[in-house]
Amino acid sequence: MQRRTLLACSFAMSPLAARSSQAQSYPSRPVRLLVGFPPGGGVDLTARPLAQRLSERLGQQLVVENRGGAGGNIAMDAVAKSPADGYTLLVGNVGMLALNPALYRDLPFDTVTSFAPIAQIVAVPLAVAVPADLPAHSLAEFVALAKSRPGQLNMGSGGNGGIPHLAFELLKRRTGIDVQHVPYRGSAPALQDLIGGRVQLMVDGYNLMRGAAEAGRIRVIATTGQQRLPALPDVPTVDESVAPDFEAVGWQGILAPAGTPEAILAQLEAAIEAVLREGDLPRVLLDQGQLPTFLPRAPFADLVRRDRDQWTRVVRDAGVTLD
């Protein structure tokens, strides 16, 4: 009887033992890091230096894989349906995780229950930029120009319903300007049309705009956080310029499929914390106009839930649709 009991216990514990063994050997092969937007966009520009440094720390390559489309939903769906073994991860942002549930009907996943948050990696105040040849050297001058040409100026964004779009809609309401929103299939093509002067305004992450700004092809005239960006100390905030108490800040973080073993999640969380606190990655992110912001699993999960509730109310109150 004792032998049978021990044997039964052995079989009952075997799945747990298998998960423990898997976690101890993790990672034993390359890890995919899915980005829900085309190469060259703000999320992609965060993912690549992070992947490089995590590869060095974990001893296995993290391969960035761009799965653009549907506001990041294609990448999220792929990760949600992947094996929960730590070998497929997601770079998620506030638009994907907090806004999309309010914008898309019948999503095949739930942004809270289908994923296991691992860590927040950055907070992302946005930059407000215009073409270099536009006669507006400050946000106040742009507002004046827009009011003198109602309905004639355009703002390009990476798509309907994202944080850049909602930040722009909030700016319109606070300043009373009539500027048309032009959504693109990703931020990178919108930036190209800003450089070419086909749109006259863009609101997005500074990491996307940095190269064009430093080359003098566009002009950053404001940022959307409450504090000035360390990378742009001479550029005032919207709050300082034209709209007191204005704030619109995004974030990005790393997630795994729900059900991923706790030991693997903890290992990834520790590795992310280490690369965000050590070496050159914090400076790389600061130079891109992002704020390295580590939040561990539980607080990051709370942030996802809280922002999903908050931005759902904003989307519905503003009547934002994807049509």
Domains assigned to the chain = 27-124+250-318 (3.40.190.150), 125-241 (3.40.190.10)
**C-alpha pair distances (Å), 134 with each of 115, 137, 163, 210:** 44, 8, 24, 18
Model confidence pLDDT, tens digit, residues 259-318: 999 999 999 999 999 999 999 999 999 988 889 999 999 999 999 999 899 888 878 877
Distance CA 238, CA 132 (A): 19
For residue 88, pLDDT over 70 is answered with: yes
Residue range 15-38: mean pLDDT, rounded: 79
Q: Which two tokens stand for residue 289?
A: 């106009």
* Chain segment 132-145, per-residue pLDDT in tens: 999 999 999 999 99
Sign of CA dihedral 315, 294, 120, 289: positive
Q: What tokens does 3 get?
A: 């032998």
Alpha-carbon distance 240 to 253, whole Å? 29
Among residues 304, 317, 306, the alpha carbon closest in space to that of 90 is found at 304
Phi-psi region of 259 (alpha: psi -120 to 50; beta: other; left: phi over 0): left
pTM (2 d.p.): 0.77
Report the 10 Å Cβ neighbour count for 226: 14
